[in-house]
Chains A and B, each alone.
Chain A
């Protein structure tokens, strides 16, 4: 922490903007929707001041398209939305996966399907963030739970997007998007900013989708002299459509592998509390705040627990979670939905371990007492 930098008291959406700018984001396209609109509103002010570009598009589909177009010119680009808008973006998110265009999508989750609860919180888009676009694909999704974490993970989202040439989803929720906490921004010198690898071969030798041993092909900016073709159709290393099953398989396998093989680098989690306790909590986003509070109260009351908090929710930190879960009597999954991650957790752990959901569908934060009650049931 630098002492030159003054702490600020900001809401989560604002912290996200500060993180994006710190990461080098210079393009934003969006469409107004609660509870994410502050991200657009603040960037509308800030981006032009530094020569960046803001645009309010006609809908979320267009915003996603514009972000991909901007990224192809070499700019770090962001869009932000919520529930209904996230649904609309899905087709073009798949396009970015297929064409390996780095970009960051913020979804400040709100309650319900359809228009739902525009001003209240939920975590009902966890599986949509994983599987929302059609087709088999890998995706990176980050779930911060505090304002400093939003700041840090927004920077990380851009870095992962650039490093792996992929869209990265930052999954917030209304609670952390709108609540305020103290944030101390990073000194520029302390920030790691990753840039996509650009080609260094002569343009006529550039094969835009031919990877080296990293599985991640260098990416040229439109207008930089490397003329190439980008299509959402299955394509070969030259970037042109192909129907050849061998080439298609090669491309599809690589697109999945280029994320899965780097799981260790991508996943991030936090483990707290007493690791010998019989009860393990699993919580992320605003629910991790409830779980953390339960952990503190439990300490006072002699209810011993530990907490596993994924900061990367996709790919899920499976190995670390399995290690944390070994020997537990009970796992309590705390999430503001009907059990989306609970199913994932059941898949990962030994059947002897009881997995219980403390969920919520009513837009309210999860009360720590509910967690303590469930934890206290363990003898």
Chain B
């Protein structure tokens, strides 16, 4: 059995997450990925903003940084730029990453700085009690969208891809094996990598949107996820209402801290 305790701050439990919340599942896959890659705990920096998902760093025995709402990538950029040898991983909620932190998100991707971002997409503001987020689906209910959301939602992965990320993948809290593999790939990738994980928030989202139990929500994830390979053979009609999973984008582009290292050599006359 996998020894999670090797990576956990066991004394900090119980965690704050609700029963049935998927955030802990993502944490488990992340720890397995870090273990698989044999990263030293001293060299991993886990950075987050504010939200339920952003509480993740508190529970793990890395260098951990719980910042301000939306700003995790800004702090993470400072850490990575200052000490490029560190493995910098950001965990962020959909509101944190794409509303208040949207600007940092597109610019971190554009710079292609070697940071791995894990976006916990639960379609809602969990921590503050269920307000609409930029990923709340059109028509879905939220405490601030009591008649159903009239705003179109972001496609987070497409956004990262267009902004310049090197690696973009999507999975769900149901697909734990795939999630672990995608984390391994994302962390290994030089450049900005995003893994969007669709995750259940039974308390703030499910309850309002006819997904009564965590099990219903996990089933929903299973039924609506279409692997990219399968999606390629499907018509747009067949894909309606579903989402693709797996590696969505993987290219090699110059990475920011590498570029800066070259700039230092140039400026200091070493080349």
- Using a CB–CB cutoff of 8 Å, the interface residues on chain A facing chain B are 27, 29, 45, 48-51, 53, 55, 57-59, 61-75, 77, 91-92, 95, 222-225, 227-233, 240-241
Contact A27 B78, beta carbon cutoff 8 Å: yes
Minimum CB–CB distance for B105 against chain A, Å: 10
Q: Which residues of B contact A63 (CB under 8 A)?
A: 74
Whether B71 contacts A223 by the Cβ 8 Å rule is: no
Q: Which of B59-75 contact A (CB under 8 A)?
A: 61-68, 71, 73-75
Check: B12 CB closer than 8 A to any chain A CB.
Answer: yes
Q: Which of A50, A73, A224, A225 has the largest count of B CB atoms less than 10 A from its CB?
A: A73
Could you say which residues of chain B place their CB within 8 Å of the CB of A240?
Answer: 12, 58
Number of B residues with CB within 8 Å of any CB on chain A:
40
| Contact between chains at A69 and B41 (CB < 8 Å) | no
Contact pick for B74, options A65, A72, A73, CB 8 Å: A65
When distances are taken between beta carbons in the complex, the residues of chain A under 8 Å from B79 are 69-70, 72-73, 222
Q: How close is B116's CB to chain A, nearest CB, in angstroms?
A: 15
CA distance A29 to B263 in the complex (A): 16
The reply on B45 being an interface residue by CB < 8 A is yes
Besides A68-B75, A69-B78, 18 other A-B contacts (C-beta < 8 A): A48-B264, A49-B267, A49-B268, A53-B82, A57-B77, A57-B107, A58-B104, A62-B77, A62-B103, A65-B75, A65-B78, A68-B67, A222-B63, A225-B42, A227-B41, A227-B63, A229-B9, A233-B66
Decide: A62 and B85 in contact? CB cutoff 8 A.
no
Q: Can you name the residue of chain B whose Cβ is closest to the Cβ of A67?
A: B78
Number of cross-chain contacts by CB at 8 Å:
131
Residues on B with C-beta less than 8 A from A73 are: 79, 82-83, 86
Residues of B close to A74: CB separation below 8 A: 82
Q: How far is the CA of A63 from the CA of B78 in the complex (A)?
A: 8
> Within 8 Å CB of B76, what residues of A?
69
Which residues of A are found within 8 Å of B130, using beta-carbon distances? none
Q: Bound state CA distance, A66 and B78, in angstroms?
A: 4
Chain A residues in 8 Å Cβ range of B86: 73, 222-223
B47 to chain A: which residues have CB within 8 Å? 69
Query: Which of B62, B82, B268 is close to A48, meaning CB atoms less than 8 Å apart?
Result: B268
Query: Which residues of B have CB within 8 Å of A66?
Result: 74-75, 77-78, 81
| A91 to B73 Cα, complex, angstroms | 16
CA–CA, A302 and B267, complex, Å:
57
A241 engages B267 (CB within 8 Å) = no
Contact B103 A59 (CB under 8 A): yes
Q: Which residue of B lies closest to A220 (CB)?
A: B63
**A241: chain B residues within 8 A (beta carbon):** 58
Q: A61–B74 contact, CB under 8 A?
A: yes
Write out the residue numbers on chain A whose beta carbons fall within 8 Å of the beta carbon of B263: 48
The answer for the CA separation of A268 and B254 in the assembled complex, in Å, is: 48
Closest 8 CB pairs of A and B: A69-B78, A65-B74, A66-B78, A48-B267, A62-B74, A70-B82, A231-B66, A69-B75
Q: Which residues of B, 233-271, contact A by the 8 Å Cβ criterion?
A: 260, 263-264, 266-268
Expressed in whole angstroms, the minimum distance between the Cβ of B70 and any Cβ of chain A is: 8
A62 touches B66 (CB 8 A): no
Contact B268 A57 (CB under 8 A): no
- Output the least CB separation between B31 and chain A (Å): 14
Complex partner residue of A223 from B57, B63, B104, B266, CB under 8 angstroms: B63
Q: From residue 33 to 49 of chain B, which have CB atoms closer than 8 A to chain A?
A: 41-43, 45, 47
Q: Which residues of A contact B85 (CB under 8 A)?
A: 223
Bound complex: CA of A64 vs CA of B74, how far in Å? 8
Residues in B neighbouring A61, C-beta threshold 8 A: 71, 74
Q: Which residues of A contact B58 (CB under 8 A)?
A: 229, 231, 240-241
Chain A nearest Cβ from B72, distance in angstroms: 8
Assembly CA distance A74 to B79 (angstroms) = 10
Q: Which residue of chain B is the closest to A95 with respect to CB atoms?
A: B68
Within 8 A of A (CB), among B3-20: 9, 12
Kindly provide the distance from the CB of A209 to the nearest chain B CB, expressed in whole angstroms.
14
Q: List 20 A-B pairs, Cβ < 8 Å.
A: A48-B264, A48-B266, A55-B81, A61-B74, A62-B73, A63-B74, A65-B71, A66-B81, A67-B78, A70-B78, A95-B67, A222-B63, A223-B43, A223-B83, A227-B63, A227-B64, A228-B64, A230-B66, A240-B58, A241-B58
Report chain B residues within 8 Å CB of A67.
78
Contacts of A71 in B (CB 8 A): 78
Of residues 85 to 116 in B, which have CB atoms within 8 Å of A's CB atoms? 85-86, 103-104, 107
Q: Is the CB of B107 within 8 A of A62?
A: yes
Smallest beta-carbon distance B45→chain A, Å: 6
Separation of A271 and B145 alpha carbons in the complex (Å) = 62
Q: Which residues of B contact A230 (CB under 8 A)?
A: 64-66
User: What residues of chain B lie closer than 8 Å to A68, measured between beta carbons?
Assistant: 67, 75, 78
Cα distance, A74 to B82, chains bound together (Å): 9
What is the CB-to-nearest-CB distance from A245 to chain B, in angstroms, rounded to a whole number?
19
Pick the contact of A229: B57, B80, B82, B260 (CB < 8 A): B57
Chain B: which residue is nearest A29 at the CB level? B78
A224: which B residues are within 8 A, CB to CB? 42
Q: Which of B9, B63, B68, B81 has the most CB of A within 10 A?
A: B63
Q: Are B81 and A92 in contact (CB under 8 A)?
A: no
Q: Which residue of A lies closest to B63 (CB)?
A: A222
Q: How far is the CB of B196 from chain A (nearest CB, A)?
A: 21
B9 partner residues in chain A, CB cutoff 8 A: 229
B68 near A232 with CB under 8 A, answer yes
Question: A223 and B42 in contact (CB under 8 A), knowing A228-B63, A229-B58, A229-B64?
Answer: yes
